[in-house]
Amino acid sequence: MNRLPLLVKVLRAPLEAASLSLPEWELLLRQAANADLTATLRNSLDEAGLLGAVPSAPREVLEWAQVVAVRHRRAARFEVDCIGRALDTIHVPLILLKGAAYAMAGLPPAAGRMFSDVDILVPKERIGEVEAALMLHGWAGTHQDAYDQRYYREWMHELPPMEHIRRGNAVDVHHAILPETAAMRPDPVLLRAAARPIPGNDRLWTLAPHDMVLHSAVHLFSEGELHHGLRDLFDLHRLLLHFDAMPDFWAGLPARAVQLQLARPLFYTLRYCARLLGTPVPPEVMALAAAAGRPPAPLLVLMDHLFLRALLPPHPSCADRFTPAALGALYLRSNWLRMPPLMLARHLFHKAFLSPRVKDEPAQAL
């Protein structure tokens, strides 16, 4: 695996950083900056006891990112607290997903990780109450266009993103982890039933370990915008390493994936985590995941070509001439997975020709 980008090599084996020249440090930090992984890289080096050996110039850049990460963590806690207070009024348990869950539960992917919005999971039948409670506490819906409203409310698995009117931070209210219109339909009742409270906190919940991995997997492998592909794969890598210590974690993972109709994304997760990051997946688990979720051979060849490009750092030094095509193909695939073909055609037609043109505002980071 000598052709792996420098950042990937160092993430899988931080000791690689011990012998880098200054030009290599520059390249490493440039790849990390584009992948939004600078603070994560710093924490990996710190955990490996290598931070002190980093030459002063690159170490300074790592510390800059750490300042932002610390501030981000503080802001995230504050934001989650505000959401919790809003939902307390209607007695809905606050189940956190992804970045916010890692941060509040203190899980390994949280170290240095940035996220731009807080994702929460609530029962579908109470989504109206949740929306009202959040609005009373200062969050307002975005995407007010009638078509977008219908798109989210009828077909998607979430409300249109809500933004706080003063702080600008976003909360995504989900009632499921995949769109209503997708072929895969993990039952949100199963997810909620298995959710567990964060130790030492009486208000916040996360998904169960298996479900946390599977949600992160389905998000990464059905999402078309892979700008954070490597970061999300590294999240999965660190979750798997962390849960590795739990007695029945590996044994139960493929079965839970089948139960939630997520065997395919689990297969991709284990395959690409192992290939790119060297995650030690037990062979029997890999075999079970492959039996349940491996795509037909020609499709797998294609997917390897697409994902082994799209999951690299989004930096010119990691791209080849097929990278733009791979990203484009995965974008189309993600839409394909969201909706049946006719519906997708209608949706894309509407977006292309009928939706009012609005300038995309960059998402406000926490």
Identify whether the C-beta of residue 175 lies closer than 8 Å to the C-beta of residue 122: yes
Q: How far is the CB of 323 from another protein (least distance, A)?
A: 11
Cβ proximity to another protein: between 4 and 62 the closer is 62
Q: Which of residues 23-82 bind another protein (CB under 8 A)?
A: 23, 25-26, 30, 33-34, 55, 57-58, 60-61, 63-64, 67-68, 70-71, 74
Report how far apart, in Å, the C-alpha atoms of 78 and of each of 267, 363, 366 are. Answer: 36, 18, 10
Answer whether 142's CB lies under 8 Å from 160's CB.
yes
Q: Which is nearer to another protein, 80 or 289 (CB)?
A: 80
- Among positions 283-342, residues that touch another protein (CB under 8 A) are 314-316
CB of 316 to another protein, least distance (A): 5
Cβ proximity to another protein: between 31 and 222 the closer is 31
Work out how close the CB of 73 gets to another protein at its nearest, in angstroms, rounded to a whole number.
10
- Taking the complex as a whole, the smallest distance from the CB of residue 234 to another protein amounts, in Å, to 19
Looking at residue 284, its amino acid is E
Phi, psi of 281 (to 5 degrees): -85, 125
Contact in structure between 355 and 147 (CB atoms under 8 Å) = yes
Nearer to another protein, 40 or 269 (CB): 40
The secondary structure of 16-61 as a DSSP string is GGGG--HHHHHHHHHHHHHTT-HHHHHHHHHHTT-GGGS-HHHHHH
Which residues are within 8 A (CB) of 198 and not within 5 positions of it... i.e. 6 or more apart?
A: 104, 105, 204, 205, 206
Going residue by residue from 132 to 161, which x/- string records binding to another protein, judged by CB under 8 A?
Answer: ------------------------------
**Cβ within 8 Å of residue 223, ≥6 positions away:** 334
Beta strand ranges found along 152-297 (DSSP E):
162-164, 170-174, 196-197, 204-206
Report in angstroms how near the CB of residue 319 gets to another protein at its nearest: 8
Nearer to another protein among residue 64 and residue 349 (C-beta): 64
Binding-residue total with another protein (CB under 8 A): 23
Give min distance, CB of 5 to another protein, in A.
Answer: 13
Q: Quick one: 43 or 222, whose CB is closer to another protein?
A: 43
Taking the least distance from each CB to another protein, the nearer of 341 and 362 is 362
Q: How many CA atoms lie within 13 A of 106 on its CB side?
A: 5
Minimum CB distance to another protein, residue 236 (Å):
25
Q: Are 122 and 105 in contact (CB under 8 A)?
A: no
In the complex, minimum distance from the CB of residue 106 to another protein, in angstroms, rounded to a whole number: 19
Nearer residue to another protein within complex by CB, 16 or 26 = 26
Tell me the sheet residues that pair with 171: 118, 162
CB 256 within 8 A of CB 187: no
Number of H helices, E strands in the chain: 16, 7
Provide, rounded to whole angstroms, the least separation between the CB of residue 360 and another protein.
Answer: 13
Instruction: Tell me how far apart the 2 most distant CA atoms of the chain are, in Å.
Output: 57
The answer to whether 5 and 312 are in contact (CB under 8 A) is yes
Q: Which is nearer to another protein, 187 or 225 (CB)?
A: 225
Least distance to another protein, CB of residue 57, Å: 5
Question: Which residue among 13, 15, 18, 22 contacts another protein (CB under 8 A)?
Answer: 22
Q: Which is nearer to another protein, 59 or 275 (CB)?
A: 59
Phi, psi of 51 (to 5 degrees): -60, -40
Q: What is the contact surface with another protein in residues (CB under 8 A)?
A: 21-23, 25-26, 30, 33-34, 55, 57-58, 60-61, 63-64, 67-68, 70-71, 74, 314-316
